[in-house]
């Protein structure tokens, strides 16, 4: 019975998934159930079978709106384009919170540089990423199995950077710090935190943080709570 392990592990989220997928055909659902049963042996980055097919991702206005929202966050000096300086400065803000170890800081810097070079090429003040270019690139990443697995590997570092007491979980206070570093409002941090902390215990684990933070970039499903993760969505 493939359904048995589903009923015994992580009941609440799985029930929610089951309800959400009630419209799927039996065949699709059992594929889904099997997939979720095996999830604990997989990294989150490999568990994307509920997304649109590769090649057809990133075609909704909703997804484009989310990507424009994130472009606005990365554009620290709000001049309409992302430069490596924006990128580096944002990483520096997380590092300056002082909660990463020396090794983590080194890994994070290396990762940020690699991400830039892989996605945007040259590190130069003239290499500027407009919203259009960003949308085009993110669409490409989303539709490339290999690229999409690596694209959000920076998220655990953001989590560790704001986990002030190093408890391995983030409280609403720590989440406010996260939004503050991103230049977002405290009130929006509270709203986002409430949405992501779906069991209401006042804590978000690294796994949940990475899962929803990443899901924001991947899903076209407007019902997913990940849409709250990076603050209010851009108007259009």
Instruction: Please report, as ranges, the residues that interact with Ca ion according to CB under 5 A.
Output: 75, 77, 79, 86, 163, 165, 167, 169
Task: Return the number of the residue (46 or 79) whose C-beta is nearest Ca ion.
Answer: 79
Helix (H) or strand (E) holding 56: none
What span, in angstroms and rounded, lies between the C-alpha atoms of 63 and 53? Answer: 15
- Shortest distance (Å) from residue 164 CB to Ca ion: 6
Q: Which residue is nearest to Ca ion (CB)?
A: 167
Which is nearer to Ca ion, 148 or 158 (by Cβ)?
Answer: 158
Q: Identify whether the C-beta of residue 149 lies closer than 8 Å to the C-beta of residue 46.
A: yes
The nearest distance, CB 112 to Ca ion, in angstroms, is: 15
Q: How many residues does the chain have?
A: 236
Closer to Ca ion at the Cβ: 38 or 202? 202
- Cβ nearer to Ca ion, comparing 65 with 203: 203
Q: In the complex, what is the shortest distance from the CB of residue 99 to Ca ion, in angstroms, rounded to a whole number? A: 9
- DSSP, res 165: T
Between 220 and 230, CB nearer to Ca ion: 230
Q: How far is the CB of 168 from Ca ion (least distance, A)?
A: 7
Long-range contacts of 14-22 (CB under 8 A, 24+ apart): 16/198, 20/223, 21/50
Q: How would DSSP label each residue in 169-189?
A: EE-HHHHHHHHHHHT--HHHH
> Residue 13 CB, nearest distance to Ca ion (Å)?
21
| Phi (first) and psi of residue 222, to 5 degrees | -70, -10
């Amino acid at each position: 019975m493939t359904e048995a392990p589903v009923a015994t592990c992580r009941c609440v989220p799985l029930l929610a998934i089951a309800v959400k997928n009630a419209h799927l055909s039996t065949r699709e659902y059992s594929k889904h159930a099997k997939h979720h049963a095996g999830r604990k042996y997989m990294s989150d980055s490999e568990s994307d079978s509920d997304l649109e097919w590769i090649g057809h991702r990133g075609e909704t206005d909703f997804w484009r709106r989310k990507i424009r929202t994130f472009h606005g966050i990365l554009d620290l000096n709000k001049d309409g384009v992302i430069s490596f300086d924006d990128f580096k400065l944002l990483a520096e803000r997380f590092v300056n919170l002082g909660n990463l170890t020396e090794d983590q800081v080194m890994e994070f810097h290396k990762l940020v540089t690699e991400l830039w070079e892989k996605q945007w090429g040259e590190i130069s003040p003239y290499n500027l990423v407009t919203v259009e270019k960003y949308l085009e690139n993110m669409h490409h990443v989303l539709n490339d199995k290999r690229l999409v697995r690596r694209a959000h590997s920076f998220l655990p570092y953001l989590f560790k950077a704001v986990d002030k007491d190093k408890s391995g979980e983030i409280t609403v206070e720590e989440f406010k710090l996260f939004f503050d570093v991103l230049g977002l409002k405290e009130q929006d941090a509270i709203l986002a935190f409430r949405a992501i902390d779906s069991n209401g215990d006042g804590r978000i684990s690294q796994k949940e943080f990475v899962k929803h933070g990443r899901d924001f970039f991947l899903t076209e499903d407007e019902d997913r709570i990940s849409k709250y993760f990076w603050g209010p969505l851009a108007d259009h």
